[in-house]
Homo-oligomer: A and B are copies of this chain.
Amino acid sequence: MSFEKLQDRINELRNPTVAGLDPTAALMPPALIRGAEDTAELYEKYCAAIIDAVCDVVPAVKPQSAFFETLGARGSETLFAVARYAKSRGLYVILDAKRGDIGSTASAYAEAYLSEDAPFDCITVNGYLGSDGIAPFFETARRTDKSLFVLVKTSNPSSGEVQDLDAGGAKVYRRVADAAQLTARGETDKYGYTRVGFVAGATYPAELAEIRGAYPAAFLLVPGYGAQGGGAESVAAAFDARGGGAVVNSSRAILGAWKKSGGDGARFAEDARREALAMRDALRAAANL
């Protein structure tokens, strides 16, 4: 689905949170481990329980492909099963796969994850290869009414090594954003957003504000909230005047909420829901939603 559908749901729930689904061994509650046959089944049960716990609180989830890929073919099955389940519960599903390639290879990635049958609404894309690496995703997304987020300014400490380089008066991340925006051909939805959004981290609030101001048609995916150090005040700048145009991701804070309660994590789903509600309230205030 296009970002319009995501924004509709954000408005209904008054919540611009995306819950990251990053299953790792360290996050699995002992209470759940006892009942699972293998890691893939464990990840699937865990993600399904999180989805049940937050699907009436958050509009979107973001499975992280890498953690499923570590399990090989079983992981691929599990990723698709989790995404299908999330869609059945009404969630917008963003696949965080950061794919980036060109020509027929990029088209193959787009077909794998943005075709009509694929249970994903959106994918993250790395634009280092230029518009050749973005356009094939856009073309597929256009055909299937889906969308993509291009990495512009990422939330990690070393993101500046490449992205902040000054390239003739504008930083590299601005040039990537320009190329991504061109790819979207100016086609906007009822809210004024294109199909090609940007990733811009909460850990760089000044750059986030600059990006919001310079690209009003870009829907933003904002990582780095919570565990990575960005707070509600740092993400306020991601939203436009109507309180829209952005989703803020939290992975570990929601998924690992049970660790703060102590015990064997038997109530990990309730803990995740409580954390998601707290984040919703903080973001409502930040976005004036």
A residues engaging B (CB < 8 A)? 22, 24, 64, 66-67, 69-70, 72-77, 80, 98-106, 108-109, 111-113, 126-133, 151, 154, 156-163, 165-168, 172, 175-176, 179
Contacts and interface: CB of A to CB of B under 8 A. Distances in A.
A28 to B, nearest CB: 14
B172 A130 contact: no
A126 to B, nearest CB: 5
Given A67-B105, A73-B76, A112-B69, A127 B128 contact: yes
Contact of A167 (B132, B154, B165, B179): B165
B168 A165 contact: yes
A24 B66 CA distance: 24
Given A24-B104, A80-B72, A126-B126, A158 B131 contact: yes
A66 B166 contact: no
A75 B113 CA distance: 13
Copies of this subunit: 2
- The list of the 7 closest CB pairs from A to B, nearest first, reads A130-B158, A130-B161, A165-B167, A66-B108, A132-B158, A73-B76, A128-B128
A110 to B, nearest CB: 9
B166 A102 contact: no
A136 B100 CA distance: 19
Nearest to A182: B161
Contacts of A106: 66
B162 A105 contact: no
A75 B102 CA distance: 20
Contacts of A127: 128, 162
Contacts of A179: 158, 161-162
A67 B108 contact: yes
Given A100-B126, A112-B69, A167-B172, A132 B159 contact: yes
23 contacts: A64-B105, A64-B108, A66-B108, A66-B109, A66-B112, A70-B111, A100-B100, A100-B128, A103-B156, A126-B126, A126-B128, A128-B128, A128-B151, A128-B163, A128-B176, A129-B151, A129-B159, A130-B162, A132-B156, A161-B179, A165-B165, A165-B168, A167-B167
